[in-house]
Structure 1
Amino acid sequence: MLRKILSKIKLSPERRRLYFLLHTILGYYPNNLSLYELALVHKSALLKDCDGKVMNNERLEFLGDAILGAIVAQELYNKYPDVNEGFLTKTRSKIVNRAFLNKTALQLGLKDIISSQSKIALNKTNIPGDALEALIGAIFVDKGYDKCAKFVLSKILHPFVNLNEITKHDNNFKSMLIEWGQKYKREINFETEEVSSTSDHAPIFVSNVEIETIVYGRGEGNSKKESQQNAAMEALQNISIKENNPNYKA
């Protein structure tokens, strides 16, 4: 270990600083420092390598997003052995969301080591959360799944997430669906109509959720809000099924 650290002393002052900062954040020294440097480069930085190839963290972000979802899913699966898939999916969505990732990235101190050319404060963008997902991807590539899971659980999930508190609250399915659409750049529209009641009771509202003109969910309720929440819940369920079965049609 000492030999490895001494070898890093030969780094430039800037890279040496990053090397030791990463140790503070991660709890270990990176093997491949370049991999972590790439994880912290947002596409707005417009960086290129010596061959003119664009360098950014989008590929690592893609990988990190999948690995983070798997680690959280495994933790929920083990912690709640008697609940159904719907509960697990909804709870995971409450944890792995853009607002939480942005906040956690800032709390971990990533703001000071992210490379970008954003003209607005990083804490008002999704850049920190993107970098955190990319960092998770870098850990997976550099150290493997077990080390990556240890980082997610010890540095993200356990310090910043109260699972018992989260599971007490009702899900806002509409907000979750809109957030999903923003993340994956998908257009989402809600269409709601009031249906005449056949009795003296309050009218019924019916809502459809369209994702890029395709209906993914339908819901009914005694209010516009309730019908849209039910439609959004069904849409999220169909999205989950489709992600695991590309041939599925909503």
Structure 2
Amino acid sequence: MPPITGFRPGNLSLYELAFIHRSASIRMPDGEVMNNERLEYLGDAVLDAIISDFLFSSFPDKDEGFLSKLRSRIVKRTQLNQIAEKMGIHKLLVSNTEHGNGVKNVYGDALEALVGAVYLDRGFQRARKFVLERVLYKYVDLEALISQEADFKSRVIEWAQKEKKDVCIETQEIYQEETKVPTFFSRVRLGDQILGEGTGSSKKEAEQNAAEIAYYQYLVFH
């Protein structure tokens, strides 16, 4: 356990439980069924809190939309599955399920359960240290995720040029009297067809949001 967490556990049974998938649940004499689902539930919330706090402190000039999207990219299931494999968590998992591509979510689930175990055993600060030092800093390329966040408009434009399509991105400013704050609305249009729409607190954000929707809902599948 120390090579993964970086410290010696206090309550080892918590960590053992973190790696028991529900397909290998243990039924106790009193009838209680033991597996990692409750720890996964807790770890999911703790992980979100840690990543949210980290991003809030690291990007003081960014708005809620940027922070939320970056967080979602960090903790998305495919990312957690890959991180768990790199950490070797899949080798510790107790399961009666074949771990093909369709069910690799159990790896990410176990990672979240491990975060929950660390939190219960050693508290929030130790859980934060574990997540940042053993997960985020080692396995997450923030610059790549940020570039991915900012690249959707370019991807749409490049696709249009390659396919010789007449795609335009229209943006307008909407002033909301009740908030006294302008909101920008963008639309990605291919002729008469709307590929994506998005809003934001800046023109750039609105265009990126609209382009992201267009990219995933239309361009990826065509």
Distance apart, 1:140 and its partner CA: 0.3
Cα separation, 2, equivalents of 1:74 and 1:160 = 18
Distance apart, 1:51 and its partner CA: 1.8
Q: In structure 2, do the counterparts of structure 1 residues 95 and 171 end up closer, same or farther at CA, with 3 Å as the change threshold? A: farther
Cα separation, 1, equivalents of 2:72 and 2:31 = 38
Contact conserved, 1:39 with 1:131, CA < 8 A, in 2? yes
1:74 aligns with 2:53: yes
Picking from 106, 130, 138, the partner of 2:85 is: 106
Cα separation, 1, equivalents of 2:127 and 2:82 = 20
Contact conserved, 2:50 with 2:128, CA < 8 A, in 1? yes
Distance apart, 1:125 and its partner CA: 1.8
Contact conserved, 2:70 with 2:149, CA < 8 A, in 1? no
TM-score (norm 1): 0.62
What secondary structure does 2:147 align onto? coil
Contact conserved, 1:114 with 1:131, CA < 8 A, in 2? yes
Cα separation, 2, equivalents of 1:231 and 1:51 = 55
Alignment of 1:230-245 (within 5 A): 230=210
What secondary structure does 1:168 align onto? helix
Which segments of 5 or more consecutive residues in structure 2 lack a partner in the other structure? Answer: 153-165, 170-185, 199-208, 214-222
Which segments of 5 or more consecutive residues in structure 1 lack a partner in the other structure? Answer: 1-21, 174-200, 205-218, 234-250
Q: Percent same amino acid among aligned pairs?
A: 42
Contact conserved, 1:111 with 1:122, CA < 8 A, in 2? no
Structure 1 counterpart of 2:22: 43
1:226 aligns with 2:196: yes
Distance apart, 1:101 and its partner CA: 0.5
Alignment of 1:164-179 (within 5 A): 164-170=143-149
Distance apart, 1:162 and its partner CA: 1.9
What root-mean-square deviation, in Å, do the aligned CA atoms of Structure 1 and Structure 2 show?
2.8
Contact conserved, 1:122 with 1:128, CA < 8 A, in 2? no
Alignment of 1:84-95 (within 5 A): 84-95=63-74
Q: In structure 2, do the counterparts of structure 1 residues 226 and 63 end up closer, same or farther at CA, with 3 Å as the change threshold? A: same
Q: In structure 2, do the counterparts of structure 1 residues 225 and 125 end up closer, same or farther at CA, with 3 Å as the change threshold? A: farther
Contact conserved, 1:40 with 1:114, CA < 8 A, in 2? yes
Distance apart, 1:26 and its partner CA: 0.7
Cα separation, 2, equivalents of 1:172 and 1:55 = 44
Alignment of 1:167-206 (within 5 A): 167-170=146-149
Picking from 93, 118, 128, the partner of 2:97 is: 118
Picking from 10, 20, 37, the partner of 1:58 is: 37
